[in-house]
Amino acid sequence: MTDTRRITGLAALAAVSLLATACAGQVGQSSGSSSSDNKSLVLIPGITAEPFYISMQCGAEAEAKAKGYTIKTQAPQKFDPADQTPIVTGVLANKPAAVLIAPTDDKAMAAPMKQLKDAGVKVVEVDTSLQDTSISASSISSNNEQGGKLAADTLAKLVGDKKGSVLVLNTTAGTSTTDAREKGFKEEIAKYPNLSYVGQQYTDNDAAQSASKVTATLSSTPDLIGIFATNLNTGEGAATGLRTAGKTGAVNLVGFDASPKEVSDLKDGSFQALIAQDPATIGKDGVDQAVASLTGGSVTRNIATDLVSITKDNMDQQSKYFYKSSCS
């Protein structure tokens, strides 16, 4: 994370709740208003209207309903602590019983999340997490370091014994999940002497930036043989970049996540593999942990959900991991 982003994140702490109303975006069909009972939950995803978080929301809503709770979703327009902080501030004013949150920065979101905790609101981390483990009651996510290793092994298998350079396209520094994916990838790819890791480039979670980083790297690194894109937008952009350069398939692309676009790109050969998560279960488990924490039940500090490597060959069997664009 750049200093600028950290500073904007901190500056946003001072933002008034009026801003929260202006910045809040709804993911899918959320309902609910201010809560005065103890059965009111809020989900704060990393960004609005994105299939990973929509799938998480679907899982959380179904489980909340089954347990007799209500849940509303309020999402930032950008994956950025400066956008997410005023949403937390606004949610705090309504005092829900618990908040499920995907912090957009592992440090900058600590202060606003601590305000929730200090006000007696239970906090559960879903997907991303803070470095400070004292704020949330529970964290539910994929084992992202393992996911990075799986991406490296998958890429190495696709490349076989050919030699060449490999690139990681990452989102923003300070995102716990994608930082861990790069770490796992870097460690694992070192086991393949035919592959030379040229390092990571940041895309700010923006598909257009990812596409242009691919075309620039193809010019500077002519022996580029593989790319690992650490999340959905970065992967979708990398597929576009390879297409624009006429390099689809010549450079093996392993992406993370399984959005409808990524899945159709896997089918048509723009990706060679996807590492899919299980966001619906992250949402479901998030509700379960929040309820356990509220009712004195047994709370699990860390829960790891499924990760699978999907290729064109096994995609029909793995379709339950494809992400949704809406809950219906």
Q: Which residues bind ligand T6T (CB under 6 A)?
A: 46, 50, 52, 127-128, 175, 177-178, 231-233, 256-257, 277
Residues 294 and 205: their CA atoms lie apart, in Å, by 34
Residues 234 and 306: their CA atoms lie apart, in Å, by 21
Treating both helix axes as pointing N-terminal to C-terminal, what angle do 81-94 and 110-118 enclose, rounded to 10 degrees?
A: 10
Q: How far is the CB of 57 from ligand T6T (least distance, A)?
A: 12
Q: How far is the CB of 50 from ligand T6T (least distance, A)?
A: 6
Residues 76 and 82: their CA atoms lie apart, in Å, by 9
Neighbouring C-alpha atoms within 13 Å toward the C-beta of 128: 31
Q: Which is nearer to ligand T6T, 168 or 225 (CB)?
A: 168
**DSSP secondary structure code for residue 46 in this structure:** S
Q: How far is the CB of 293 from ligand T6T (least distance, A)?
A: 22
Residue 242: closest CA among 267, 276, 217: 217
Q: Which is nearer to ligand T6T, 84 or 231 (CB)?
A: 231
Provide the pairing of β-strand 252-256 with 195-202: unpaired
Q: Which is nearer to ligand T6T, 159 or 207 (CB)?
A: 207
Beta bridge partners of 202: 170
Q: Which is nearer to ligand T6T, 60 or 224 (CB)?
A: 60
Residues 200 and 177: their CA atoms lie apart, in Å, by 15
Q: How far is the CB of 68 from ligand T6T (least distance, A)?
A: 29
Q: Which is nearer to ligand T6T, 86 or 237 (CB)?
A: 237
Q: How far is the CB of 40 from ligand T6T (least distance, A)?
A: 25
